[in-house]
Amino acid sequence: VRSRHSSSDYDRSRRQAEVLDGIKKKLFTLGVLEKLPSFHQAISEHVTSNLDLESAIHLAPLLVNANGFTINSINLSPENVLQSSKSGAGAFILIPRQGASNYQEIHQFLKQELAN
């Protein structure tokens, strides 16, 4: 997911989403929902999460049809509603294109994207 050369935070974010989608597909292929207690125990040895087994069992029925769900991503970037800037300390930051603390354009953009 990470790259040392010729890559941006936006590229890294896209690659992270691709990896998570691949993990989701593999978990459904392996039938993890049917083996949830043993899977939770095995993964808990390697991954830190605040999702305990009881909560996972409660959520599992909601995921039965999740393999058919489509995940849509909305990316906020300088290509749409943000602009590059620098903090008072000189760090690279992104702020709303209409100015710091002016989120009106971002809200409109999100409403429009969610309606599609």
Q: What is the pLDDT of residue 32?
A: 86
Rounded to two decimals, what is the model's pTM?
Answer: 0.59
Residue with tokens 């009881």: 54
Tens of pLDDT, residue by residue over 78-115, are: 989 999 999 999 998 999 999 989 999 999 999 999 99
Average pLDDT of the chain is: 87
- Lowest pLDDT segment from 11-20, 66-75, 106-115: 66-75
pLDDT at 10 over 80: no
Q: Cα separation of 1 and 19, whole Å? A: 8
